[in-house]
Each structure stands twice: as C-alpha cells, then as structure tokens.
Structure 1
Amino acid sequence: MAKTQRLKSFCFQLRFKSTQLFILGGAVLLALLVSVLCIGFTIRFEVQHEVANVADVDYWKDWVAIEQKLWYDRGIEELKRAMRVHSRQRQPRQLLMLMVHGIDAPALAAARFASADGNSSSNSDFIWDRFSHAARLKNSCSYSSPCDAAAAFRSLWSGVPLAAVQRLRNNCSSRESELLSVLRQAQLAGFRTGLVTNQRLTGALGSALYAQVTPSSWECDGLMPVGAIEAGCQDVAQQLISSAAGQSFNVLLGGGRQLFNAKVPSYEWDPVDELLCRARAGRNLLRDWRNQKLKLRPSRRFELVQQAQELSSINGSSLEYLLGVLANGDLSGNARAPTLQLMLHKAMQVLQRPGVGHLLLVEHYVQPQLAVSQQLQLLNATLSQLLGHKDQLTLVVLTNGNYLSASRDMSEETQLVSTLEKAFQGPELELQRRLQQMPSESLLFAQGPKSVLFYGVHDETYLAQTLSHALGIDVFGRQL
C-alpha cells in the first residue's frame, strides 16, 4: 500500500513538472515567433519606406565643408528619385514625341554650363534630364551611300532597315513598296494623330509618316517628271491630301503653302522660297482638303487656318480636324509664324478626347541664327507644360541631322580614323573641328508608361518597333 502511494506521488510530481516544462517551452517558442515577426515587419517597412537609406544617416557629412554637404544632399535627393523609378507595365494611352534637329550630345552638353566669361544666363535644368530612362539611336546614314533624310526617317518610322528602304525608294507604282509607319498603325488602331513642325508638312520627317516611297525631290508636282505623273505616281503634297493616312490626321500644323497651291500670297515677312518646290499651275490642294471634310458628317467640325491670329482664335476642343499651313515655305522662314507653344496648345485641344488615345509628333529645327541655349530653354518651358498625365509616354529625341551627301563612299568616322595620326600632328583647333564633324547618334529621353523599353544603343528600326509594342498594336494596326 505504501509502495502504491509513493508511485502515485511520483507520477503526480512528474506530471506537474512536465506541465511546467511545456508552458516554459511554449513561452520561449512564442517569444521567438514574435521576435521573428517583428524583425520581418521592420525590414519590410525599411525597404518600402527607405528608412535604411544613406540619406537618413548623418555620419561623416556633418563634418565636411558646407559646400560639399550641400551637393551631397542634392545627390541624395537625386538618388531617392532614382530608387523610386519602376517599370509600369500598363500601356500608355497618349504618346508625345518631340524631335529636335540640330542638337547633338556636344551641343547639349555645352548648353548645360555657363560660358567661360561667366555672363551666360543659361538654365541647365532641362526637363528631359530628369526623365527616368534614356537611350541612343544609331545614325546608319554614316555608313550608307547614297543616303538622304527622307530614307532615314522612313526607316525610323517604319522599322525597316535603311538599305531596304533605299531599294524601294524609286518604286512608287508598286504596292509591294508600301510601308506602314507607326503613326499609320496607330490610326488603324483607333488613335487620334497629329503632326506639328516648324518646317514643311511635306518635309522628310512628315512625308515618312503618310507618303509611300517616292524620290525625295518629289515634294510637290513641280519637280516631278511628266512620265511619272502619267504613270500614276503622286508627289508628297498630293499624298498628304488624298492618302488614307493623310486624311486621317486630326491635326496638321506647319509650313509649305507653295507646295499645296499654285497661287500663294507673298509678303516681306513670309516670302515664297525660291529654293523649294513650287506647285504646278491650277493646283489648289488646300481647297481639296476643305471639300473632302465638307463631305463628312456635319458633326465632324474642321478648320483650315493660314495665319497665326486665325490659329489663336479657334477653339480646338470643338474640332475633329485642324489643318494649319502657316507659311509659304518652312515655318521658320515666316517672321510672323505662331509660337511652338501656341501650336502645341491647340493641337492638344483637338487630340484630347475622353477614353480615346492619341499620338502627337513634334518636329523642331533649331534655327542657326539664334542662340542654341535660348532655344533649348524655350523647348524646355514648352514641354514642361505638357507633362503630368499618368498615361502619357513622352519621348524627346535630339539629333544633329547630319546626313551625308550621296557622293560620300565612307563614313565621317572612317575618315577620321584614317587621318587620326595626321590630325594629332596638326593644331589642336583642327583636331577639335574634325571631332565636331563626326555624325553623332541621336539621344533619346523617355518618361512615362513603358519608358523602361528605351535603354542602351539601338538601330533606328528599334524606335518604330518599340512604339508599336508600347501602344499595344501590331504592324497592321490591330490592338494586341
């Protein structure tokens, strides 16, 4: 009996100690679990809110000169912006591309800094320098002979290599030579489209958007051979008015009146450009454009303007189509031409519609008689007013537009390398001149949805292909 009592007492004590051990072990495990969860939440919060960032640690920067601390702080702010950049996978509903001719990398670099005498008032805070992504487009014209701007832009907008474009250049009567530009693809996919230029609407960049392959000299019918006209070939100006792509433009603003009409007014501030093509007698394509629009439904309003004050007075929000031919030749040759800011303001009024995407291409040739830094500042201020829409992909392309003549059988780069030893033996200014003559690649700055696609160095064909992908359309204009 005593033995049984001792066994019961032992078992009771063992059970009590086991319970204590279980409670103690559970408490330890619970404490470990809580600690792990706290550490995990802390790390996640630091990553998401950048608590563990060098910007939040004062350490050595408090012990350096004020000037260095100032620039260190500015560098940290720039680093913070870079860390916030991420890839937005949604497709843009708006595309704005500004292509500036006459500005390459050296010119842009020079405009960012004050002159040596310190009297420059240049503002180097360009909006495109704060874009999230950048790339370079090769200038394949440097390696091709012959090569002209018309072929280069057709390659740029169609995504077809330059060599293939040049083979198709003189075959205007064949359907096999037709190339759909990225703008035409966007039109077929239901996007509203526009072109604004301070040159001619029929220039090399514009014609590559809507015209089929023709010799670059056929900008109007005045330079076309009679045989080509009889064969059914059309000049660029005619195609802008009669082609499906040309008629689908919602906005066209630029120069080139003398290419559309045989009779044009000539003023001291807007003369006829004798170096450009002149329309043949009897041509009046601007009247033809108006007659085409009159045949549309009455609700589809349109306007044709030819003076800056006419453009300023219209309400673009109520228009379906706007054609502004605002100079006899290049728009830059008209002393009373509207400002780029006014043209873009009216263009955006016409293009912006709820639930409808749009694509606007802006071409700007830098005027050599004006200071480059001042023109860049004007472009900077104008572009700054067009940013901010979350669904807008914005591209800025800077190029020197240095296309080689047909007589060249080698690139400027090749010529430079072959004479480099001789150049180094010459004066330093001569070497600098040779370096400045090198055709440079185009600089491309991108901001907005799908801007992550623009990186590194690419051929011209990459631009059209990437824009089609970003907009979610294929080469036939179908939504993907």
Structure 2
Amino acid sequence: MKSMKIYAALLMGAGLAACTSAPMTETAPKAAATGDAWFDGAQATLAQRKTVKPVKTRAKNVILFIADGMDPTTVAAARIYDGQSRGEEGEENLLSFERFPNLAMSKTYNTDMQVPDSAGTMSAMATGYKTRIGHISVKKEVPRSDCAASLSAHAPTFVEIAEQAGLSTGVISTARLTHATPAATYAHVPDRDWERDTDLPEGAFEAGCRDIASQLIDFPYGDGVDFAMGGGRANFLPEDAKDPEDADRTGGRKDGRNLAAEWVSKSDHHAFVWNKEQFDAVDPESDPRVLGLFEISHMNYEADRESDKAGEPSLEDMTRKAIQILSRDDDGFVLMVEAGRVDHAHHMGNAARALIDAQEYSQAVAAAREMTSPEDTLIIATADHGHTLTFAGYPAKGNDILGLVRYVSDGGESKLMLAADGKPYTTLGYANGPGSVYHKGVDHRERPIGDEEEVEDLEYLQPSLVPTGSETHGGQDVTIYASGPDAWLFSGVVEQNYIFHVMMDALRLDPQVEE
C-alpha cells in the first residue's frame, strides 16, 4: 500500500513538472486551413465566438419574439426547410436567431401541469411568476376561472411596467390579439377563454372582472399600448356591426361596445386598420397609435396569406412597422411579437404550414436585428412550449424535409427506405394527432402512406401514433436565443419566468412595481 502511494505521488509530481515547464500562452495556435468545410468552418466559428463581448450597458429597447410551439425539433426542421426553399441541401443553414451569441434552455411546465399551455407559459415570461395552466397574468394561488380570487392576484406585466416607466409599447400576433400569448402582456383573467364579454361567466362582470379585448382598450397605464396588431376583429366589434371584410358576418360583442371605434376616439393620432392597403398607408412620421385587426379570428397561415381577399401584412411587415413607429420614442420601447400559427399548424398535424410560419418568424427576427443595434436593444427569440413533432428515419443528407425517407445505396442510387410493413414513411411525424392510423373507422392492419407528391403537398397531415383530434403540446424544454444588453445572462437551463427578470434588469426597471 505504501509503495502505491509513493508511485501515485511520483506520477502527480511528474505531471506537475510537465505542466509547469511548458510555456504558457494566451491563445491556442490557429489551425491551418484543411479544405474540409466543416473543420475549417468550426475554426471560423471559434474565432468569431472569441470576439463576442457581453453588452452590460442599459437596454433602451427590448423585443421579445415568441414562436408559439417552436421546440428544438421544429427549429431543426425549419432550418432545413428554409435552406431547401432556396435550393440548398439545408443542413448547414442557420435561421436568423440561431446566429445570436447567447442562448439557454427554458423549462416550460406550468405550476400544475407537466405539459403546459400558452397562457401559463406566456404569463411566466410576461410577469416573472410561474402560474397555472389557463391563467393570463394571474398568480398561481388562484383557482381556474375564479373571478373574485383573481382580482387581488394580478401579476404586473412587462408591458404595464414599461408604460409606467414612460416607454412605448407594442404587441403583435398572427393569432387573435385576445389569444393567450398576446393577452398575457396586457390583460389579467383567471381563464384564457374570457376573450370577449360573452365569454365571461355569470356574475363575473358584476364582481369586477373584464374580458381580454376590453382590457386592451381600457389599458390603464401610461398612455396605453401604442401599437397592437393581429387577428380577432369579432372580439372588438358589437354584434350589430357587419365585419368589414365579410358582410355575412358580424362582431361578437353583446355589450354594445365598438372597441375599434373607442380606440380611434382616444386621440387624433389613434388609427384602426383592417387590410393591407390601410396598413401600408400608416405613416410612421405622423406618430400614430395603431390598432390592426386583419381577420375576424386568427390571421392566415403564411402559406395562405397571399390568397386573402382584403390582404394582410406578414409578420415581418408588422414587425418593421412597429419598430419604425415605436423607435420614435427617445425613451425607448418594449415589443412582443408572436408567430402564433406555428402552434396551430402543429395541432393540425400539418408540418408544412408550421415550418413556413417558423421561416417567416425567422425573417421577422432578422428584420428587428437589422433595424436596431445590439448595443441598446435586447432581442430575445424563444417559444412558449413544444409539440410532439418527430424527426427520424435515417434520410440521406439533403433529403426533402417534408418528403419520404430516402437513402443512397452503395451504388449511388436514391432509394426509398421501407418500414417493417414494407411501406415507405416520412421524415417528420407526430407522437399524436389527427394523422394517426388508429383513428376510429380506419383499418388498423393497413398503414396508409401517400406517394411523394402527396406527402409534399401543403395540405398533407404527417402520420402520428396516438389518435387525437388535435395534436398536443409537448413538455420538453425550449431554447432561448438572445442578443444585445444582458443577453450574456442567458446560459444553462433556466425556469421560463427568468426571461422577465432579465428583461427588467436590462431596462433597469423595478420588477416588483405595484400594479
């Protein structure tokens, strides 16, 4: 035993001597170019990353981008789709936000659910408090739909805090403006479904609760939200008002309030727009306060937007317009931008539309980065939760991400890869959803699979395992990508509500301001 200890000591001494005798250098030697794209690319990335320095000055502006339901699997598939849409193989591509210098992983569970919803998750990011499923910026102690209990449990949001501090504010979504994610930035209700007055349960209004749409118009802080765009006209118009785009439909409010008209009446600078022509006519130089409601419910998927008869702006269009207007405020601004329909396409089991909306989200983030400076603008790009999208099957590099799995044989021939039932299968699928072979009325002995033309069609629903009418959320962590002041504070694995605290720190605002 004694000789073993002596031997170990000698080894340690030799190691120490070797370490101390070697010359110390500040940097590793630069590798010579090899001609291998990935090796040399990694060296270039290393050199670039070494130049990144944390921005520790105060942020003038904060932009929070949310791609609803965009988990890491969706990001990987969208990255390839984006590249392939330009004729590339796709795997080497990066989406705009993937070039941000800092990132972390966000734990998305609600306080009462392993797999969360958008209300609880966005409320965590908007207020700094994790809360229950279905809650809109109401603390976790309140039971779902309990109006009376919720009135003393409102959690102040970053939009409210920014308005009180004199900053300009904006909210954008391709979903209804009253849907969970945008609602959590400006409203407080114990049930995400209380989007308009007719959704309130009996006695709630008398007890002091208000519907989400009215809370946007009646926003009590500062001079109110300055820029709000999305879908959901029906929640803002009275039932006797014809929808401006579809005369066969009317508004949905029974309290007689025309919230769009009330917005316009606030000042000479307040404007309401509902189509692309009106949107394009908004002049940022006139310092407008704009409410845009482009559909009676959700806005179109990006893949379908061009077919809209009245026209509607893209997510990038709305982001650019918001920054042009809000950046006129010398005190700065905060802006939330949601690609809400990534989530909806996943629920349909329709990967094509999900990836196209994720691609548009990337373009909106790129626009924001182009129009602002990382020296004074913190940009955060993340998701509220994931989905059950799967990416598997050993396809060859460059294989169509929306297609059937193909491999290259030893002879160099592209061939379909077959499953154990002798049939081909798609690269993308879902763990559950409407594309399941096990739905009632389907012959469970036969797995239907389309040919390549069918599976690459925009309308195709990817195969799923468990039969559900709507594909569900997933409980996995999602990625936080960040650039600008305080972006360096994103690293490791964090609770989702941490995002709020970084935003407040970047702006040097008190996170505990009273509502």
Q: Judge same fold: TM > 0.5, yes or no.
A: yes
SS in 2 for 1:238: helix
1:141 and 2:110 correspond: yes
Residues 250, 321 of structure 1: 8 Å contact kept: yes
Matches within 5 A, 1:397-416: 397-402=382-387
* Greater percentage in helix: 1
1:119 and 1:354 map into 2 onto residues whose CA distance is: 38
1:320–1:337 Cα change, 3 Å: closer
SS in 2 for 1:140: coil
2:331 to 356, 359, 368: 356
The corresponding residue for 1:79 is 46
Residues 104, 492 of structure 2: 8 Å contact kept: yes
1:324–1:397 Cα change, 3 Å: same
2:61 to 88, 94, 112: 94
The corresponding residue for 2:486 is 450
The corresponding residue for 2:357 is 375
CA-based RMSD: 3.6
1:375–1:402 Cα change, 3 Å: closer
CA deviations over 1:39-64 (Å, ceiling 9, x no partner): xxxx99x96xxxx5533x53xx55xx
The corresponding residue for 2:254 is 280
1:98–1:148 Cα change, 3 Å: closer
2:80 and 2:282 map into 1 onto residues whose CA distance is: 40
One-letter code of the match for 1:439? G
Further displaced range: 391-400 or 171-180 = 171-180
One-letter code of the match for 1:393? L
The corresponding residue for 1:131 is 100
SS in 1 for 2:152: helix
CA deviations over 1:333-355 (Å, ceiling 9, x no partner): 77232112221121112101263
Matches within 5 A, 1:35-434: 53-55=28-30, 57-58=31-32, 66=35, 68=36, 70-113=37-80, 121=88, 123=90, 124-141=93-110, 144=113, 148-163=117-132, 165-168=139-142, 169-173=144-148, 175-245=151-221, 248-262=224-238, 263-266=240-243, 278-280=252-254, 282-293=256-267, 301-332=269-300, 335=308, 336-353=311-328, 355-365=330-340, 366=342, 368=345, 369=350, 370-388=352-370, 389=373, 390-402=375-387
Residues 60, 333 of structure 2: 8 Å contact kept: yes
1:476–1:438 Cα change, 3 Å: closer
Give the superposition deviation at 1:149: 3.0
1:142 and 1:181 map into 2 onto residues whose CA distance is: 18
Runs of 5+ in structure 1 lacking a partner? 1-42, 295-300, 404-411, 413-426
Give the superposition deviation at 1:142: 8.6
2:85 and 2:73 map into 1 onto residues whose CA distance is: 19
SS in 2 for 1:360: strand
One-letter code of the match for 1:216? R
CA deviations over 1:108-148 (Å, ceiling 9, x no partner): 22333479x99974652212121111111112139528964
One-letter code of the match for 2:327? Q
Give the superposition deviation at 1:72: 2.4
1:176–1:271 Cα change, 3 Å: same
One-letter code of the match for 1:287? A
CA deviations over 1:436-474 (Å, ceiling 9, x no partner): 974221211001111011111111221112211111001
Percent identity (aligned): 24
2:248 and 2:51 map into 1 onto residues whose CA distance is: 52
Residues 187, 477 of structure 1: 8 Å contact kept: no
Residues 124, 130 of structure 2: 8 Å contact kept: yes
SS in 1 for 2:279: helix
1:114 and 1:343 map into 2 onto residues whose CA distance is: 23
Give the superposition deviation at 1:477: 4.9
SS in 2 for 1:349: helix
1:91 and 1:326 map into 2 onto residues whose CA distance is: 35
1:264–1:398 Cα change, 3 Å: same
1:94 and 1:176 map into 2 onto residues whose CA distance is: 30
Residues 78, 359 of structure 2: 8 Å contact kept: no
Give the superposition deviation at 1:373: 4.0
Residues 194, 347 of structure 1: 8 Å contact kept: yes
1:451 and 1:190 map into 2 onto residues whose CA distance is: 23
The corresponding residue for 2:507 is 471
The corresponding residue for 2:436 is none
CA deviations over 1:124-178 (Å, ceiling 9, x no partner): 2212121111111112139528964323322331112325834325454465222
1:121 and 1:399 map into 2 onto residues whose CA distance is: 30
SS in 2 for 1:332: coil
The corresponding residue for 1:10 is none
Residues 105, 480 of structure 2: 8 Å contact kept: yes
CA deviations over 1:403-428 (Å, ceiling 9, x no partner): 9xxxxxxxx9xxxxxxxxxxxxxx9x
2:54 and 2:178 map into 1 onto residues whose CA distance is: 37
1:344 and 1:452 map into 2 onto residues whose CA distance is: 24
1:440 to 457, 476, 480: 476
Tell me the number of residue pairs that the alignment of Structure 1 and Structure 2 aligns: 389
Give the superposition deviation at 1:81: 1.1
2:476 and 2:248 map into 1 onto residues whose CA distance is: 34
The corresponding residue for 1:30 is none
1:145 and 1:107 map into 2 onto residues whose CA distance is: 20
1:285 and 1:437 map into 2 onto residues whose CA distance is: 33
1:331 and 1:246 map into 2 onto residues whose CA distance is: 29
1:234 and 1:119 map into 2 onto residues whose CA distance is: 47
One-letter code of the match for 1:107? T
1:114 and 1:308 map into 2 onto residues whose CA distance is: 27
Residues 256, 328 of structure 1: 8 Å contact kept: yes
1:373 and 1:402 map into 2 onto residues whose CA distance is: 13
SS in 2 for 1:327: coil
The two structures have a TM-score, normalised by structure 1, of 0.71
SS in 2 for 1:363: strand
Which of structures 1 and 2 has the bigger CA Rg?
A: 1
1:234 and 1:314 map into 2 onto residues whose CA distance is: 30
